[in-house]
Amino acid sequence: MARLYESRKRILVTGGAGFLGSHLIDRLIGQGHEVLCVDNLFTGTKRNIDHLHNHPLFEFMRHDITMPLYVEVDEIYNLACPASPIHYQHDPIQTTKTSVHGAINMLGLAKRLRAKIFQASTSEVYGDPTVHPQSEDYWGNVNPIGPRSCYDEGKRCAETLFFDYHRQLGLPIKVVRIFNTYGPRMHHADGRVVSNFVVQALRGEPLTIYGDGSQTRSFCYVDDLIEGFLRLMDTDETVTGPINIGNPNEFTIRELAEKTVAKIGGAELITMPLPRDDPKQRRPDISKAKALLGWEPKVQLDEGLDRTIEYFRDFVGQMEEA
């Protein structure tokens, strides 16, 4: 049910045409809020927000947040940044600028407006972890000069900025560390493992496993993730995060490949060398999310994978017809 007009907010979502941003906007509009979607469309796409084109509560602005932004809003969700290795390594300098300059610009806007601001951080701040599962008090094991550093260290610096603005200026902040998320509207060519496997299987191509497939990941369905975002944003100012949001059920990459093949049909598995600094294990400790937000994931991998396959089946079909 839409909220009453008196409680309606005008909310800025940067990266709003991306995978996560578009799902967040759907939820916010469903709550009756006005949403300003800002995106430079580097990895986001208007296809993700086409259904909102004529919605009276939705506005789109093409803008790069490495440049200052002057708007009037009540809250800010900062999701803008390429999030897959293929995309963030394409222009690593711009990736770092998006995380760092973007954070500075959005924090400056929040400071001027005295607005609550949310930062979409990442489990990549833990690097290739030596602690398993990863809890928020773990400082990480990150290579500061490797090919993934533009994203890992950019997000770490953004967290530093958020907490310094909070401590020094009293700015109300919320910081989430996102673990591997999947679902409809993922970019079909972003190189992430779920979209890779599903698209390859639907096209009858071999599924590419990097390394021997024994490395593990924990896969969170997008609807569960967005619910975690909203719950954190609704907490009082004493709850800042960082808070892990992810699904603690852990699978090897080979297990995910085998599940995908079992659901779609017989594609073979091939192996390629493991990329440098690729984490061997990734699993969130979500004790804090449970205690502070009353949150835990509801959609498990088999159900979420079915929904994702359905989306990509339509998408791949449309691409082949074009």
Respond yes or no: is residue 70 known to be catalytic: no
Sign of the CA dihedral running 33, 63, 223, 179 = negative
Helix-helix angle 253-264:301-321, to 10 degrees: 60
Type of residue found at 177: R
Tell how far CA 156 is from the center of its chain.
15
Q: Which of 77, 88, 126, 151 is catalytic?
A: 151
Cα gap 41→44, rounded to integer Å: 5
CA 79 to chain centre: 7
- Give CA–CA dist 216/288, Å, rounded: 22
- Partner residues linked to 250 by β-bridges: 218
User: Which amino acid would we find at residue 44?
Assistant: G
Query: Which pair of structure tokens corresponds to residue 231?
Result: 């719950």
Integer Cα distance of 240 and 231 in angstroms: 12
In eight-state DSSP terms, residue 267 is: -
Q: How many Å apart are CA 16 and CA 261, to the nearest integer?
A: 32
Residues paired with residue 176 on neighbouring β-strands, in sequence order: 120, 243
List all residues 6 or more positions away from 93 whose beta carbon is below 8 Å from its beta carbon. 150
Q: How far is CA 272 from the centre of its chain?
A: 26
Question: What is the DSSP code (8-state) at residue 128?
Answer: S
The contacts of residue 301 (CB under 8 Å, 6+ apart) are 219, 247, 249, 251, 256, 259
Catalytically active residues are 151
